[in-house]
Amino acid sequence: MIRMLLLLFFVSVAAFTLVSVSPIDPLQANVGQAALGAMSQEQIAKLSEYWGVGIPPVERFFAWAGDFFRGDMGMSLLYRQPVTKVIGVKLVNSLWLMAIAWMLSGIVGFILGILSGIREGSLLDRIIKGYSLVIASTPAFWLALVLLMVFAVWLKVLPIGLSVPIGVEASGVTIADRIQHAILPAITLSITGVANITLHTREKMIEVMESDYVLFAKARGESTYRIVKNHALRNVLLPALTLQFASISEIFGGSVLVEQVFSYPGLGQAAVTAGLGSDVPLLLGITVISAVFVFGGNLIANLLYGVIDPRIRRGGSRA
């Protein structure tokens, strides 16, 4: 636990250092060269103060970190709202998406992995393996583009972007609208997420099927279904779960790209906007929040070891 907090602290230090050494001038990036030239010295000074130019980085870090511990992540410079509020809104949008994709890809990937691993080299195995390899090499944003082309532009069955219909008031947005807008991004994320877990589960499954205890079960005349259910499932589930919890970082990265393509107003898109617009407080806030999720996932993975595998439970906690 302490280790995690320390790591989080260092994540924020690293992130802060990175944005501090940046040669990008927030004034130039947001106001533009021409507008800057036309401004008076006073106006420029005022803007510099707003964007925090000229204060030594160390001082800025402690001011920022101090506020952070009190729950104040500062003001987003682009959205002109507290960072906590911006992140709150975006996070809800993204969590929807990521949670669906995470569950779907986990379950589908696991099942595909088992099916493919039962008989190595069978037609089904080769199809699933080929599919996974291709998907693993496909950039998420391109897949998003292709799905967008097929379903939104060509077939016109799903909306082309955003999380709610355009021109409808917030109160008029129905759950159905939200679901409809989340379908394509969620499917894209799920499809890309499946590859890893499938390939991994398949490897483990092949290992299990070659083991002595499965050979013996076969000799006893157990059916394939019973072998999978009684002997393989638990052995394969542990590494799969661990991988799935450790893959939160991947899902997050994918969502950044996918949200960008679908103009889906989630955390990932906010991160890109913040990065392009030099909105340092927001960028830092998102980095720390996402690191919390990643560490949380790893922690859960470690705890789950004990729940599923009695050998590790006896050996004491690993986290």
Binding site for other proteins (CB under 8 A): 7-8, 10-11, 14-15, 17-19, 21-24, 133-134, 136-142, 145-146, 148-149, 153-154, 160, 249-250, 252-253, 256-257, 260-261, 268, 271-272, 275-276, 278, 283, 286-287, 290-291, 294-295
Q: Return the number of the residue (131 or 237) whose C-beta is nearest other proteins.
A: 131
Which one, 45 or 149, has the nearer CB to other proteins?
A: 149
Dihedral sign of CA atoms 200, 202, 203, 204 in order: positive
Based on the number of CB atoms within 10 Å of its own CB, is 21 exposed (0-12), middle (13-18) or buried (19 or more)?
Answer: exposed
Are 185 and 166 spatial neighbours (Cβ–Cβ below 8 Å)?
A: no
State in angstroms the smallest separation of the CB of 273 from other proteins.
Answer: 10
Shortest distance in whole angstroms from residue 112 CB to other proteins: 19
What is d(CA 300, CA 294) in angstroms, rounded to the nearest whole number?
Answer: 10
Report, in Å, the least distance between residue 298 CB and other proteins.
8
Which CB atom, from 90 or from 231, has the smaller least distance to other proteins?
90
Q: How far is the CB of 83 from other proteins (least distance, A)?
A: 15
Stated as kind and residue range, the H or E segment containing 74 is: none
Q: How far is the CB of 233 from other proteins (least distance, A)?
A: 28
For residue 266, the SS3 value is coil
Q: Is 162 left (phi over 0), alpha (psi -120 to 50) or beta?
A: left
Q: Which is nearer to other proteins, 23 or 167 (CB)?
A: 23
Nearer to other proteins, 227 or 288 (CB): 288
Q: How far is the CB of 300 from other proteins (least distance, A)?
A: 14
Residues contacting 132, CB < 8 A, separation 6+: 112, 194, 195, 198, 199, 202
CA dist., res. 212 & res. 214, Å (int) = 5
Answer whether 245's CB lies under 8 Å from 297's CB: yes
Nearest-approach distance from CB 291 to other proteins, in angstroms: 5
Nearer to other proteins among residue 55 and residue 134 (C-beta): 134
Distance CA 318, CA 298 (A): 11
The Cα 145–Cα 248 span in angstroms is: 23
Residue 48: exposed, middle, or buried by beta-carbon count in 10 A (0-12, 13-18, 19+)?
middle
Tell me, rounded to whole angstroms, the distance of Cα 306 from its chain centroid.
Answer: 25
